[in-house]
Amino acid sequence: MDKDFVFELIERIKDSKIEELEILTAEGKILIKQYLGPKEVAVSQSIPQVQYIPQPVVEIKEEIKTASETQVKEQSQKKYHVIKSPLVGTFYRSPSPGAPPFVEEGDMVSKGQVLCIIEALKVMNEIESDVDGRVAKILVENGQPVEYGQELFYIEV
C-alpha cells in the first residue's frame, strides 16, 4: 500500500470532524482513528472534575491475508507437495468420458503415475506425479480450464 496515499488521507481528515475512516482495497485494509476531544457530559457536584488534555491519536492497521490463506500456504510448505499445471488447457480427471478418474482424494500414488490429462490444442497431455504419497486435495473440477502454473493437486508426502 502506498505510504504517500495513507499520509494524504491522514492530512485530509486531520482538520475534519471525522473520527474514524476505514478503507478496504485489494491490497488490504486501512483504519484511521482520530481523537476529537472529550464529549460534553453533565457532571454532578459530588464528582470532582478532572482536566483532560487531548492528545492526537492516529491508528493505522493493514491486513493483507486472511488466516485461511496463510494456513493453506503453511500446510502446503510443511507437508504437501503441490502438482502444478505445466501448460494452459482443459483439465480432465479420467482418460475418457464415463471412465473412472485416474485418482481420487485419499488414493496413494507413485512417482510417474498419471494423475490427470490436460488437453491443449487437441493434444492430450498426461500429467504424472513426481513424488510418492497420498492425494490430499484435488483443486480443479473435471472439464475446467487451467492456467500455466495453476495448482492442481496437493500430494501428502
What's the pLDDT band for 121 if we cut at 50, 70, 90?
A: confident
Look at residue 41 in the predicted model and tell me its pLDDT. Answer: 53
pLDDT at position 143 over 80: yes
pLDDT at position 145 over 90: yes
Look at residue 25 in the predicted model and tell me its pLDDT. Answer: 73
Task: Provide the 3-class DSSP secondary structure of residue 80.
Answer: strand
Rounded distance between C-alpha atoms, residue 136 and residue 21, angstroms: 43
Look at residue 103 in the predicted model and tell me its pLDDT. Answer: 92
Name residues whose C-beta falls within 8 Å of residue 27's C-beta, 6 or more positions apart in sequence. Answer: 1, 64
- Domains of the chain are 1-64 (no CATH), 67-156 (2.40.50.100)
Pick the residue with more confidence: 152 or 70?
Answer: 152
What's the pLDDT band for 116 if we cut at 50, 70, 90?
A: very high
pTM of structure? 0.49
N residues, the chain:
157
Look at residue 76 in the predicted model and tell me its pLDDT. Answer: 45
Answer yes or no: are the C-beta atoms of 118 and 91 closer than 8 Å: yes
Look at residue 22 in the predicted model and tell me its pLDDT. Answer: 76
Mean pLDDT of the chain, nearest integer: 76
Look at residue 37 in the predicted model and tell me its pLDDT. Answer: 64
